[in-house]
């Protein structure tokens, strides 16, 4: 099977969708029925290394240029399947797949699939051969409006890459902490006004009550975006500006250092499709706190990996964070193994085989 993968973010790009796509491509490369995957990304690095059987073309960030290149590729070469990595690109992918009589596989992640789409999208979805969702929550939201039978939408959860962060020895974790900063709360995530659902502001608002119970608590935020100014102002208004640290954007390979210097990871979101960072934090040995209203429930294995709270309840957030900082109320890090790459790769192979039968 020869695949054309139309992706927003691929090798060399950052973020959760990029990491998901990279894991998926790696799994495809290990499948015996795949001969080649040609990747056309919008955002990627032309110099990034890729797995065997994967050929990543130079990126085109401009959507129109990217679409024109996709059409040209399909007209020039023969593909047995089209993988569409984002719902927004589905009409284009459907248009390409139809004349090729190629199998069409679309991936849905989160909020992009939660609200009803136009007839164009509904029709394109109805013509797909396979739809995969990163979580049960996103699958449920999609099925509420799409013209799809439930059995045609499969859940393919995120995975920890083979080289993901592992548990840090206690002495390494202590050495990585700043003096007097023994109780650091960590959130890793983009701070965008369009993604305010991640819950940075909920933790900042809860900081006075957290500090009343854990006086040397500190909140460290890794990430960037156009919502930073609002969050800084909120920290000032709450009187906790000196206890909230905006660390800025951090490369993926530097994240282990931040996990090692933290005592707990918290992201009480309401719009997360899954949240690979929950798994990375748990794999690093941190107690993890997430919201109970979105795909975080899947990432935390219904509360077995970490603690689920109502994002709308400041009391629950305060209790969960304070108890985590005090070494109580943690989940079972061993449960993270269910999301290992071996399981993910086996799942992808089964999905690929279902496309050719």
Q: What is the pLDDT of residues 90-99, one digit of tens each?
A: 999 999 999 9
- Among candidate residues 296, 14, 278, the one with its CA nearest the CA of residue 135: 296
- Predicted pLDDT at 15: 82
- Among candidate residues 211, 267, 269, 265, the one with its CA nearest the CA of residue 242: 211
d(CA 186, CA 164): 18
Residues 185 and 226 in one domain: yes
Residue 163 pLDDT grade (very low, low, confident, very high; cuts 50, 70, 90): low
Whether residue 136 is contained in a domain is answered as yes
Residues 212 and 289 in one domain: yes
d(CA 98, CA 83): 13
Residue 351 pLDDT grade (very low, low, confident, very high; cuts 50, 70, 90): very high
Whether residue 330 is contained in a domain is answered as yes
Residues 74 and 175 in one domain: no
* Least reliable range by pLDDT among 59-63, 227-231, 299-303, 326-330: 326-330
Instruction: Annotate 95-122 with DSSP letters as a single string.
Output: HHHHHHT-EEEEEE-SGGGTS---HHHH
Task: Name the residue range of residue 113's domain.
Answer: 2-159+340-356
Segment (H or E) for 182: none
Show the tokens assigned to 294. Answer: 């979105």
- Predicted pLDDT at 253: 83
- Predicted pLDDT at 129: 96
Average pLDDT of the segment spanning 240-251: 94
Q: Are the C-beta atoms of residues 211 and 245 closer than 8 Å to each other?
A: no
Residues 283 and 223 in one domain: yes
Q: Are the C-beta atoms of residues 169 and 202 closer than 8 Å to each other?
A: no
Say yes or no to pLDDT of 60 above 80.
yes
| Signed CA dihedral, 259, 264, 270, 274: sign only | positive
Q: Are the C-beta atoms of residues 48 and 7 closer than 8 Å to each other?
A: no
Contacts of 162 (CB under 8 A, 6+ apart): 341
Residues 147 and 183 in one domain: no
CA distances from 337 to 81, 165, 286 (A): 31, 13, 15
Residues 136 and 188 in one domain: no
Tell me the whole-structure pTM to 2 decimals.
Answer: 0.88
CA distances from 121 to 5, 125, 313, 324 (A): 19, 6, 36, 43
Whether residue 333 is contained in a domain is answered as yes
Whether residue 165 is contained in a domain is answered as no
Average pLDDT of the segment spanning 121-129: 96
Residues 185 and 99 in one domain: no
Average pLDDT of the segment spanning 214-229: 96
Whether residue 164 is contained in a domain is answered as no
| Signed CA dihedral, 114, 119, 120, 126: sign only | positive
Residues 108 and 246 in one domain: no
- Which residues on adjacent β-strands are paired with residue 221? 187, 246
Tally the domains of the chain: 2
Segment (H or E) for 54: strand 54-56
Q: What's phi and psi for 210, nearest 5 deg?
A: -65, -45
- Which residues on adjacent β-strands are paired with residue 45? none
DSSP alpha helix (H) spans, 160-312: 170-176, 200-213, 228-237, 255-260, 276-283, 296-299
Q: Give the distance from CA 320 to its chain's centroid.
A: 23
What integer best gives the mean pLDDT of the chain? Answer: 92
**3-state class of 69 per DSSP?**
helix
Residues 71 and 179 in one domain: no
Residue 175 pLDDT grade (very low, low, confident, very high; cuts 50, 70, 90): very low
Whether residue 46 is contained in a domain is answered as yes
- Which residues on adjacent β-strands are paired with residue 153? 131
Give ∠ CA 345-164-349 in degrees, rounded to 5.
Answer: 5
Whether residue 274 is contained in a domain is answered as yes
Burial 163-182, CB ≥16 within 10 A → b, else e: ebbebbeeeebeebbeeebe
CA distances from 184 to 45, 171, 246, 266, 325 (A): 33, 16, 13, 10, 8
Show the tokens assigned to 224. Answer: 């960037």
Residues 223 and 108 in one domain: no
Residue 336 pLDDT grade (very low, low, confident, very high; cuts 50, 70, 90): very high
Residues 105 and 250 in one domain: no
Map tokens 């906790």 to a residue: 240
Residue 114: give its domain's CATH number.
3.40.50.2000
Residues 350 and 306 in one domain: no
């Amino acid at each position: 099977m020869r695949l054309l993968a139309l992706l927003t973010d691929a090798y060399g790009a950052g973020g959760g969708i990029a990491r998901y796509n990279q894991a998926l491509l790696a799994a495809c490369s290990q499948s015996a029925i795949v001969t080649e995957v040609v990747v056309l990304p919008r955002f990627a690095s032309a110099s990034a290394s890729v797995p065997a059987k994967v050929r990543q073309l130079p990126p085109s960030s401009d959507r129109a240029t990217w679409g024109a290149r996709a059409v040209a590729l399909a007209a020039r070469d023969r593909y047995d399947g089209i993988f569409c990595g984002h719902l927004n690109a589905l009409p284009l992918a459907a248009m390409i797949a139809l004349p090729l009589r190629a199998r069409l596989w679309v991936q849905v992640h989160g909020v992009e699939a939660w609200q009803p789409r136009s007839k164009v999208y509904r029709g394109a979805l109805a013509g797909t051969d396979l739809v995969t969702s990163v979580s049960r929550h996103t699958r449920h939201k999609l099925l509420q409006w799409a013209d799809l039978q439930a059995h045609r939408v499969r859940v393919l959860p995120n995975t920890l890459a083979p080289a993901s962060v592992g548990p840090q020895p206690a002495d390494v974790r202590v050495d990585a902490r700043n003096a007097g900063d023994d109780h650091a709360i960590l959130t890793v995530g983009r701070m965008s006004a369009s993604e305010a659902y991640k819950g940075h502001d909920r933790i900042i608002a809860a900081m006075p009550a957290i500090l009343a119970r854990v006086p040397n608590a500190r909140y460290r935020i890794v990430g960037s975006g156009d919502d930073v100014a609002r969050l800084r102002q909120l920290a000032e208004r709450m009187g906790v500006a000196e206890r909230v640290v905006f660390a800025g954007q951090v490369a993926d390979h530097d994240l282990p250092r931040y996990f090692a210097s933290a005592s707990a990871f918290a992201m009480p979101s309401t719009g997360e499709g899954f949240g690979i960072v929950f798994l990375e934090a748990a794999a690093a040995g941190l107690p993890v706190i997430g919201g109970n209203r979105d795909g975080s429930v899947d990432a935390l294995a219904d509360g077995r990996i970490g603690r689920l709270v109502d994002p709308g309840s400041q009391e629950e957030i305060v209790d969960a964070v304070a108890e985590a900082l005090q070494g109580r109320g943690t989940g079972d890090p061993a449960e993270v193994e269910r999301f290992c790459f071996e399981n993910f790769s086996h799942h992808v192979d089964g999905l690929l085989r279902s496309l050719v039968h």
